[in-house]
């Protein structure tokens, strides 16, 4: 995308005012979205994002400048703009870039613009038809297909030179249901680090059926109760609890500012022995995986918590400088418009030995959260919240009835200590994670877990 000679000049300009490190991130991305609404074509959008971000370090201080002008003059101007922000004592000169070749661990087929749009649209039509045929309560179906191809180049003054190509494909369905004056919405999505060939592996009937059936089960369900109680969180997207409650607090973005409840706890037992948590960027063609991160470092598998003991934080380049911990290949960003930060990849709790049925039998009065929505956390306090899409009341060891509208709130480190059982069936789900460096693809996952006490925000009275 940009020649080594130009990159060298840009890095040299970046170091011109005493910075001790300079980096350039160049991106050329193509995105496409096709959708339907009212059983007709909806969105047909394509777009190109192309630009560069230049990052300078002055000790622990960071300067970042972006430009969509990839000419030599445009890049050098951006580097000089960045360098003019601060003055440092560094005398570094950029090293000659060393291209680091690697074999991608991910397999891709045709790029988004090479695929027949008609084939893609027929998938959406099939989803629309299947959703509407599934239940007469369906008043709207909105299927959508999003594809992205992202080519990146990262080079820095230490000689790093890494190029990568990533392809993402997401199929999404949202349905609205109405019955007897009640309304409900349900949605379902896939997410692959891959290309549109994966659409051929999706069972459209089952995909639409699962989405619509959830809405049908919920539309006349009672509201969830309110108060503290034991909660079983099922596998798959249930892993959002670890992502929100703990994962963000393990990122050096928070740890380096002493703004995480996990600060200073490395090596300490912070959970029961049944809890092992992993952040893994190396899983082939998995939504949150990478080959190299957005700082040019090869991705890796990081054990965060092992048998309840905190083993590692999630560390990016600046986080490594600030905390002294080794980087974990976790520097990520949405696009060149964002400086990278320490972010999660595919993050999950490892499988344990308990069976879901046994966990339910052990609860007298509690909640079984079968399907989770998203959530958020305040990393500084560890206070998290997340929504439950589909839940069931447990009474006397049995599922009593479906309930809706629950949210779960608590403090991450407390909840982590209250995971008392971990199921034997791990599954992963794709999601999007928003934070300081933008919105990025991440996978969450876990087996079913039993938490002895969480505040359920349902309806009182």
Point out which span in 39-47, 155-163, 273-281, 423-431 binds another protein (CB under 8 A): 39-47
Under the criterion CB under 8 A, does residue 307 sit at the interface with another protein? no
Nearer to another protein, 95 or 376 (CB): 376
Nearer to another protein, 54 or 193 (CB): 54
Nearer to another protein, 114 or 182 (CB): 182
Under the criterion CB under 8 A, does residue 184 sit at the interface with another protein? yes
For residues 334 and 49, what is the distance between their CA atoms, to the nearest angstrom?
A: 11
Point out which span in 76-84, 101-109, 196-204, 279-287 binds another protein (CB under 8 A): 76-84
The site that binds another protein (CB under 8 A) totals a number of residues, namely 83
- The contact pattern for another protein, residues 119-158, with x = CB under 8 A and - = no contact, is --x---x-------------xx-x----------------
Interacting positions 330-369 with another protein (CB under 8 A): 337, 339
For residues 404 and 8, what is the distance between their CA atoms, to the nearest angstrom?
A: 57
For residues 130 and 148, what is the distance between their CA atoms, to the nearest angstrom?
A: 26
Point out which span in 128-136, 226-234, 278-286, 418-426 binds another protein (CB under 8 A): 226-234
For residues 430 and 407, what is the distance between their CA atoms, to the nearest angstrom?
A: 20
For residues 372 and 387, what is the distance between their CA atoms, to the nearest angstrom?
A: 6
For residues 94 and 117, what is the distance between their CA atoms, to the nearest angstrom?
A: 45
Among 386, 394, 438, 445, interactor with another protein by CB under 8 A: 386
SS3 assignment, position 265: coil
Nearer to another protein, 101 or 461 (CB): 461
Under the criterion CB under 8 A, does residue 262 sit at the interface with another protein? no
Nearer to another protein, 17 or 235 (CB): 17
User: How much of the chain is helix, strand and coil, in % rounded to 5?
Assistant: 25, 45, 35
DSSP codes of every residue in 97-142: PEE-----SS---S-GGGS-HHHHHHHHHHHHHHHHHH-TTEEEEE
Under the criterion CB under 8 A, does residue 111 sit at the interface with another protein? no
Instruction: Tell me how far, at minimum, the Cβ of 173 lies from another protein, in Å.
Output: 13
Interacting positions 395-434 with another protein (CB under 8 A): 404-407, 409-411
Under the criterion CB under 8 A, does residue 82 sit at the interface with another protein? yes
Residue of 204, 184, 190 lying closest to 138 (CA atoms): 184
Residue of 30, 53, 45 lying closest to 150 (CA atoms): 30
Looking up tokens 């179906």, which residue turns up?
Answer: 141
For residues 24 and 342, what is the distance between their CA atoms, to the nearest angstrom?
A: 17
Point out which span in 195-203, 251-259, 293-301, 302-310 binds another protein (CB under 8 A): 251-259
SS3 assignment, position 404: strand
Among 285, 323, 378, 427, interactor with another protein by CB under 8 A: 378
Interacting positions 43-72 with another protein (CB under 8 A): 43-51, 53, 58, 60-68
């Amino acid at each position: 995308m940009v020649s080594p000679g130009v990159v060298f000049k840009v890095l040299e300009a970046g170091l011109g005012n005493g910075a001790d490190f300079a980096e350039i991130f160049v991106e050329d991305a193509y995105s496409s979205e096709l959708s339907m609404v009212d059983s007709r074509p909806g969105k047909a959008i394509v777009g190109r994002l192309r630009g560069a971000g230049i990052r300078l370090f002055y000790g622990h201080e960071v300067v970042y400048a972006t430009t969509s002008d990839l000419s030599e003059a445009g890049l050098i101007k951006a580097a000089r703009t960045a360098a003019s922000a601060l003055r440092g004592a560094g005398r570094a000169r950029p090293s000659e870039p060393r291209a680091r070749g690697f074999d991608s661990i991910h397999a891709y087929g045709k790029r988004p613009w090479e695929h027949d749009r008609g084939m893609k649209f027929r998938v959406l039509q099939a989803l629309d038809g299947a959703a509407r045929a599934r239940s007469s309560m369906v008043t709207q179906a909105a299927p959508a297909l999003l594809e992205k191809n992202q080519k990146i180049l990262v080079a820095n003054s230490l000689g790093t030179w890494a190029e990568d190509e990533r392809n993402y494909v997401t199929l999404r369905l949202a349905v609205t249901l109405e019955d007897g004056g009640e309304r409900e919405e349900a949605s379902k999505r896939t997410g692959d680090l891959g290309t549109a060939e994966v659409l051929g592996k999706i069972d459209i009937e089952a995909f639409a059926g699962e989405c619509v059936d959830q809405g049908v089960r919920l539309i006349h369900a009672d509201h969830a109760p309110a108060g503290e109680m034991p909660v079983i969180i099922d596998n798959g997207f249930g892993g959002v609890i670890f992502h929100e409650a703990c994962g963000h607090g393990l990122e050096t973005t928070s740890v380096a500012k002493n703004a995480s409840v996990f600060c200073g706890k490395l090596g300490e037992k912070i959970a029961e022995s049944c809890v092992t948590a992993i952040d893994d960027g190396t899983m082939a063609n998995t939504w949150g995986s990478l080959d190299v991160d957005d700082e040019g470092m090869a991705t890796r598998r990081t054990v965060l918590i092992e048998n309840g003991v905190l083993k590692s934080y999630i560390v990016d380049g600046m986080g490594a400088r600030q905390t002294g911990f080794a980087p974990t290949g976790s520097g990520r960003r949405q696009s060149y418009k964002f400086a990278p930060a320490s972010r999660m990849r595919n993050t999950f709790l490892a499988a344990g030995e308990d069976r879901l049925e046994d966990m339910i039998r052990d609860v007298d009065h509690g909640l079984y959260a079968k399907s989770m929505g998203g959530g958020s956390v305040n990393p500084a306090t560890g206070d998290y919240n997340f929504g439950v899409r589909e839940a069931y009341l447990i009474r006397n060891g049995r599922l009593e009835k479906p309930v809706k509208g629950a949210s779960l709130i608590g403090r991450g480190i407390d909840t982590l200590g209250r995971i008392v059982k971990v199921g034997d069936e791990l599954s992963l789900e794709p999601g999007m994670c928003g934070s300081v460096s933008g919105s990025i693809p991440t996978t969450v996952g876990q087996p079913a877990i039993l938490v002895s006490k969480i505040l359920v925000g349902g309806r009182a009275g």
